[in-house]
Structure 1
Amino acid sequence: MITATDVAYHPPPPGEPDWAETNFFGFHVPARNLCGATYLVARQGLGVAMSDVTLFDRLSLDRKDSLHSHTRQHLIAPDDLASYALPTGLRVRSTRPPYDYELSYHGSEGVEFDLAFAALMEPHDIQAGGSPEGAAPADILDTHFRGHFDLTGRVTGTLRLGEQVVAVDCVDTMDHSWGPRPERRTGPGGCWLSAHFSPERAMHCLFTYEWSRPPHEQYTFVRGYVLDDGEVHEVTEASMRSTRVGHVPVARELIVHDCRGRLHRLFGTAVSGTSVGWFAAMEIYYLLYRWESDGAIGHGAAQENLVTSGFTEQNVRLQAPGTGSRCTPCPS
């Protein structure tokens, strides 16, 4: 069960230098295909933190095409995660922990925002309840999901882009997690995604992701929920398939079963996206999708994480005698 104290730090166990605490908030403006995110990775045991503020309104993994990208990899970790201000100009304060938050940012290039996040539900504890049949193995929950909650809420406020002032009024999902997060990882990547149709209807799911498998076998469901008329219903089963350009998931089909026995089928098309540098050893795509489900239209973002060691290990294997070369020889 998530309580007010879970907004604050969860001290790392002795001798676990890879312990990290993350804090994520997102927002979007569908009429402009605009999406924004703030992300903090604090390693309390080491006293350091990474902070990122990203804004984008087109589909490009070249960060030069972003509206704004402000990443700092070497900051002093804030003393208190319930209320902190960073040298980047980002401020976060929990006004009603663990439900409501205020976010402000006064950065460079004339980019500023002042936003309020108001919860529409109880925080969803990823560790609560039994493991759904066919879900990801328990060791996933013992690693970087050892502690984790997701929370859907309404985000309101203003965003300034130079001389432009953009109103923000959307439903989005934040999360907070704690556990071991080694800088170099092995094993599968992950996909975190949400679809928001109204303050009364939303959906959120977590999957592991293995890029080397066939498209219909790449995702394994971890946990999720359906928000329906203010009530939260656990997802008991979910599957997903993505259509890709290279490794970028430009379209998705998501099938979800909730604990009431209801089936939800969603189709998502990426309308904007970028890459983000939240973890140096991972390739992370952050995309905004336009979702359709039973005639309803919604929006929501997805984070797709590829563990780079999986690619480099394969590249080394391909250098072994008899396996051939990754490159086609030049004609003589």
Structure 2
Amino acid sequence: MFVTGDSIDSFHPWPAEALNWTEAAWFGAWAPEHALTVYLYHWFRPALGIYGGGCIVWIGDTGVPWEAPLFQYDVNRPVRGDLDLRDMTLDNGFRLRVLRPGHDYEMTFRNPRASVALRFTATTAPDLTDRRGTSDFFAGHVDQPGRYTGHVEIEGRRYAVDCIGIRDRSWGPRAIGDDVRMGYCHGETEDLAFLAFSRPSGSDEEIYKGYLSLDGVRHDVVRGSRRVSHVDGRLSHIALELEDEAGRTLTGHGTPLNRFSYTSYPNLLSHHYLMRWDLPNGSAFGEEQDLWSVPLWREHRQAAGGMR
């Protein structure tokens, strides 16, 4: 049984006929000095009584799941007993506790090869976005910057984590069609955070939603663009500029520190990069997520001469 409520931290009531209703919770942190990224990501389909996801760790030029230091990503595991997202223990080795609603979270993951322990403390209030431009993915969505502290230990090697990152929370019907194409990038420091959803079209991309937070004051993005550069088919550079509803602007340049690709859902290919962003007031770290439906990716690769 899924315990529902009316907060961003709880499962939400779902229509009985909505078999594709999905609740997802993602915590992503990094240790830039090691070019290391750790994901604790889980999705739930309450109408079917199943869940999936797990823990992924990649370092540097990992590239694909079978080369990652840690890739425990399950699908279609049955939910047994009551499950409350605010205090949850899963049978794959993951535990999540909400210490302060909408603000403080504690996550652990353990299996025979690895252990992860992270604490997330928000630096801004939760940002509940609307569905504009993303209705196939969710009805409600939260992107929230904050500080991660803790560690990742894999086969006896321990990596400290102390970074400003982001968490993600979403719910609603999730249909992955054959025409999905979206860019999603973000960067965070103690005093600044930005998030940008984009529509890729060649090397130039329109930023159609997101936010800019400066000194704790956040406004929605009203316009922006990105120019994405590749060398030999690999991401090499992103230049972006955006403007929020208060007229504030941000320009920046990003370079990838690592890369990783996997299918987070059937028919959805996700390319992920830990990014170092060079901004007017210094550097920030964050991500680039490049999302493709599988047929579109195949068409792209065929056009580039990389597949038959």
TM-score, length of structure 2 as denominator length: 0.89
Unaligned stretches of 5+ in structure 2?
none
Query: Partner letter of residue 169 of structure 1?
Result: D
Aligned equivalent of 1:277 = 263
Partners of 1:50 and 1:278 within 8 A in 2? no
Q: Secondary structure at the match of 2:66?
A: helix
Q: Secondary structure at the match of 2:8?
A: helix
CA 248–100 in structure 1, closer or farther in 2 if over 3 Å, else same: farther
Can you list the C-alpha shifts for 1:40-88, whole angstroms capped at 9, x where unaligned?
1111111111113111111242323322111111212472222212222
Post-superposition shift, 1:241?
1.8
- Larger deviation: 231-240 or 58-67? 58-67
Post-superposition shift, 1:220?
3.7
Can you list the C-alpha shifts for 1:93-138, whole angstroms capped at 9, x where unaligned?
11111221100011232x212111011111111129xxxxxxxxx4
Q: Figure out how many residues of one structure are paired with residues of the other and give that number.
A: 299
Post-superposition shift, 1:245?
4.5
Post-superposition shift, 1:208?
3.7
Match of 2:88 among 84, 87, 107: 84
Aligned equivalent of 2:190 = 199
Aligned equivalent of 1:123 = 126
Post-superposition shift, 1:267?
0.6
Partners of 1:39 and 1:278 within 8 A in 2? no
Instruction: Give the 5 Å matches for 1:32-181.
Output: 32-77=34-79, 79-109=83-113, 111-127=114-130, 138=132, 140-181=133-174
Query: Partner letter of residue 144 of structure 2?
Result: L
Unaligned stretches of 5+ in structure 1?
129-137, 319-325, 328-332
- Larger deviation: 21-30 or 52-61? 52-61
Partners of 1:126 and 1:223 within 8 A in 2? no
Match of 1:188 among 150, 155, 180: 180
Q: Distance in 2 between matches of 1:205 and 1:313?
A: 25
Partners of 2:64 and 2:262 within 8 A in 1? no
Q: Secondary structure at the match of 2:252?
A: strand
Partners of 1:4 and 1:98 within 8 A in 2? no
**Cα RMSD for the two superposed structures:** 2.4
Q: Secondary structure at the match of 1:36?
A: strand
Are 1:215 and 2:203 counterparts?
yes
Q: Distance in 2 between matches of 1:297 and 1:229?
A: 16
Q: Distance in 2 between matches of 1:34 and 1:313?
A: 31
CA 72–149 in structure 1, closer or farther in 2 if over 3 Å, else same: same
Aligned equivalent of 2:11 = 9
Q: Distance in 2 between matches of 1:4 and 1:119?
A: 20
Are 1:224 and 2:204 counterparts?
no
Post-superposition shift, 1:214?
2.4
Q: Whose Rg is larger?
A: 1
Q: Provide the identity percentage.
A: 23
Q: Distance in 2 between matches of 1:38 and 1:204?
A: 20
Aligned equivalent of 2:272 = 286
Partners of 1:153 and 1:172 within 8 A in 2? yes
Q: Distance in 2 between matches of 1:166 and 1:314?
A: 37
Aligned equivalent of 1:260 = 246
TM-score, length of structure 1 as denominator length: 0.83
